[in-house]
Chain A
Amino acid sequence: MAHSKLRIISKIFTMKNFASNLEKRMIKTFAEHEMMYANHPFQNYHQNTEVCSIAIQELKKEYNRFSRNRTLNEEVIFYKECYPIIAKWQLYFHYIHQLEQSLFISYLELKIKTYKNCMVKLNSDFKKKNFYFHVY
């Protein structure tokens, strides 16, 4: 019993560790992309989104490898604590990519107005529990 509990804890620890290491690698890649695509911000955001989706696939692969006979508890921990570490970046870059593309030709005042509108809409969506990211 004690042995199986220890096994689960170690498995969870390894999974979390893997996710945080993956995030560190991703952040390093984001910095490289920022240098590489300094004059092409859309390309930068697009590449970062791609990196994130590859990282999510990697994480899921690792998760499947570690827990072939996974329990519900392990599944919850994966989706609650490991998956968000990587997925948040994908959502973030996807949103910014869409937003910046829509504002590409806009003048300064319109840009400020749109950023402010986005903030207001995001806040109101979260208050209403609409957990979707739309670019307005």
Chain B
Amino acid sequence: MINDNKLDQSIFIEGSLNNTIAAEFQAFILISKYLNQKINEFKTQPDRQMVTQPKVHFNHQLNWSSALSKCVEICYALYLLKVINNGNATLKQITETFGQSLNVDLSDYAQSMKYIKKRKRDGLFLTEMSNTLFSFISHSNQ
């Protein structure tokens, strides 16, 4: 349209409503570039947020202060019960989330599980947990 000399006089004259048409056309290109740039920026941002945000939120709030194997037990139990993301969450995702939120390194969860398996059933942390909870409930009912 800009190079069409025949239409120039009818389009680009003072007082005409069309006198900003070239400016609008060029502004359109600038705005498109801006919007594309923003969309591309945001496309990469969620990954960064996933990594950085939990650290900011959880690092100094809650710390796991017992044995690592006990935390691994909870992660395994949640994974096997399929109670997170309708059972679609992987064991790695669960351990990573727990590790980040409770400031504990659970990367070696498989090795921890080997030790847990060697223990007797009564020695499980989850049994201890359920016993404690039952006793609390029974005491509060009395």
Q: Which residues of A contact B (CB under 8 A)?
A: 72, 75-76, 79-81, 83-84, 86-92, 95-96, 108, 111-112, 115-116, 118-119, 122, 126, 131-133
Q: Are B24 and A91 in contact (CB-based, < 8 A)?
A: yes
Q: Given A79-B22, A80-B12, A83-B23, are A111 and B28 neighbors across the interface (CB < 8 Å)?
A: no
Q: Are A79 and B14 in contact (CB-based, < 8 A)?
A: yes
Across-interface contacts of B24 in A (CB, < 8 A): 88, 91, 131-133
Produce 1/0 per residue, B4-36, CB < 8 A to A.
000011011110000111111111101110111
Query: How many Å from the CB of B38 to the closest CB on chain A?
Result: 5
Q: Which residues of B contact A (CB under 8 A)?
A: 2, 8-9, 11-14, 19-28, 30-32, 34-36, 38-39, 42-43, 45-46, 49
Nearest-CB residue, chain B, relative to A81 = B22
- Which of A72, A112, A126, A133 is within 8 Å of B42, CB to CB? A112
Q: Are B9 and A131 in contact (CB-based, < 8 A)?
A: no
- Which of A72, A84, A96, A118 is within 8 Å of B22, CB to CB? A84
Interchain CA distance A76-B6 in the complex, whole Å? 12
